[in-house]
Amino acid sequence: MDSQLDYLPKEVRFCTKCVMSNQRPRIEFDAEGVCSPCRYAERKNKNIDWKARQEQFMRLMDQYRSKTGDFDVVVPCSGGKDSSTIAHRLKYEYGMHPLCVTFSPPIYSEIGWRNLRAFIDAGFDHILMTPSGTVNRSLTKLGLVLLGDHNEAFDRGQMSAPFQIAVRYNIKLVMYGENGEAEYGGTTRNNDNPGMPWEDFERIYYSTSLDTLVKIGLEDGYFKDKPEQNLLDFYRMPPIADLKRLGIQMHWFGFYHTWVPQENYYYAAKHTGFQANPEGRTIGTYSKYAQLDDLTDSFLYYMMFIKFGFGRTTSDAAHEIRDGHIAREEGIALVRRYDGEFPEQHFSTFLDFVDLTENEFWEVVDSFRLPHVWKKENGRWLLRHPVS
């Protein structure tokens, strides 16, 4: 069971400024019923001295920029709009020499692969890390059944790979996009930090021990044999002591620059050949330019909807309300229309990947419905508290 579920408030509330729910893990609501990312957005617009942040960023670049053309910054990069924008700006605006790193998603979508290739062809050095298929599929199934998150293995690899490459190539700086805890909801303790302390990084993104997952996987038959240690290393961070000893730092690009996903889309489309979803909007939301690389990604957000009562549309609409692109009333209408939409189009492919029957899948789904979030009426599951 996902330990985050144990700490959710039993009274469901929605932010009075956006559409985000207090069921998002680690999010904070103040006495006026406003969520912490909305308050952070207000600070970004009114109280942060962006000129001073820009000067701070220039000093950071001057500190790490290679004078010999060697790689001087690792950029975790899927080929999506955000990471493509960061890598391009670092190289062409700030004179850095980025090495871009991708941890392969469970199943590449056609548009995701095309965008990654277009990004590389735009002039970037790139490493694609692809884990053992048998180990990855077993960990993916285990994540879904045990934690309600089939991306548990992918997220671990995604977070670990850039630091593994940084250690291997002796690159001292890793540049991530935005502080997700600040921008979308989570702990506020690092809102004023340019990066995240290693101990917090490990606590938030690696809350369940990999050894525990593997142990359960062996006991319950997810693995036929214990995976070789070198195959599991794909999913581990380098030891924190090594990262500190080597002087490796991680920073958020969004700490130094205002973070507007829509603007990143326009930039990446212009400079790196990024294309929006040719099929139109992404299943589960109204957006057409986010989370395009992975064919199974919509199941992550469907399970988020099951576990917490909100999905991808809530996340997208909340940020666009904070950015001033839509009104709260429009956000509510979008959430009611698209949140929790089931990705039927890729269901059989997903079932095959995680080795579950349709009945087994729905048993897993229902096991994660919390009684204070869901109720069953006339054989149908309904949210107890839709957004209002």
Report d(CA 250, CA 200) in Å as an integer: 12
pLDDT of residue 335: 98
Flag whether 281 is in a domain. Answer: no
Q: For 187-196, what is the mean pLDDT?
A: 94
Classify residue 377 as exposed, middle or buried by CB count within 10 Å of its CB (0-12, 13-18, 19+). Answer: exposed
Tell me which residue range forms the domain holding 70: 50-256
pLDDT at 224 > cutoff 90: no
Min mean pLDDT across 261-275, 282-296, 297-311 is at: 282-296
pLDDT per position as a tens digit, 2-32: 788 888 999 999 999 999 999 999 999 999 9
Flag whether 276 is in a domain. Answer: no
Min mean pLDDT across 47-56, 237-246, 286-295 is at: 286-295
pLDDT per position as a tens digit, 256-286: 999 998 899 999 999 999 999 998 899 999 9
Flag whether 267 is in a domain. Answer: no
Residues 195, 212: one domain? yes
pLDDT of residue 205: 84
Flag whether 234 is in a domain. Answer: yes
Distance of alpha carbon 340 from the chain centroid? 18
Residues 36, 152: one domain? no
Residues 118, 78: one domain? yes
pLDDT of residue 216: 92
Residue 289 pLDDT class (50, 70, 90 cuts):
confident
Flag whether 321 is in a domain. Answer: yes
Residues 352, 228: one domain? no
Residues 12, 60: one domain? no
pLDDT per position as a tens digit, 57-83: 999 999 999 999 999 999 999 999 999
pLDDT at 315 > cutoff 90: yes
Report d(CA 70, CA 171) in Å as an integer: 9
Residues 42, 66: one domain? no
Residues 12, 81: one domain? no
Residues 27, 76: one domain? no
Last residue of a domain, one of 256, 276, 311: 256
pLDDT of residue 1: 63
Residues 103, 250: one domain? yes
Q: For 221-245, what is the mean pLDDT?
A: 92
Residue 237 pLDDT class (50, 70, 90 cuts):
very high
State the total domains in the chain. 2
Tell me which residue has tokens 């062409």. 92
What is the 3 state secondary structure string of the chain?
A: CCHHHHHCCCCCCECCCCCCECCCCCCCECCCCCEHHHHHHHHHHHCCCHHHHHHHHHHHHHHHCCCCCCCCEEEECCCCHHHHHHHHHHHHCCCCCEEEEEECCCCECHHHHHHHHHHHHCCCEEEEECCCHHHHHHHHHHHHHHHCCCCHHHHHHHHHHHHHHHHHHCCCEEEECCCHHHHHCCCCCCCCCCCCCHHHHHHHHCCCCHHHHHHHHHHCCCCCCCCCHHHHHHHCCCCHHHHHHHCCEEEEHHHHCCCCHHHHHHHHHHHCCCCCCCCCCCCCCCCCCCCCCECCHHHHHHHHHHHHCCCHHHHHHHHHHHCCCCCHHHHHHHHHHHCCCCCHHHHHHHHHHHCCCHHHHHHHHHHCCCCCCEEEECCEEEECCCCC
Flag whether 266 is in a domain. Answer: no
Flag whether 138 is in a domain. Answer: yes
Q: For 312-322, what is the mean pLDDT?
A: 96
Residues 344, 239: one domain? no
pLDDT of residue 349: 97
Last residue of a domain, one of 234, 256, 278: 256
Min mean pLDDT across 26-40, 108-122, 158-172, 275-289 is at: 275-289
Report d(CA 343, CA 348) in Å as an integer: 10
Last residue of a domain, one of 256, 274, 308: 256
pLDDT at 94 > cutoff 80: yes
Give me the chain's average pLDDT, please.
Answer: 95
Flag whether 263 is in a domain. Answer: no
CATH number at 109 reads: 3.40.50
Residues 291, 237: one domain? no
Q: For 346-366, what is the mean pLDDT?
A: 97
Residues 215, 340: one domain? no
pLDDT at 202 > cutoff 90: no
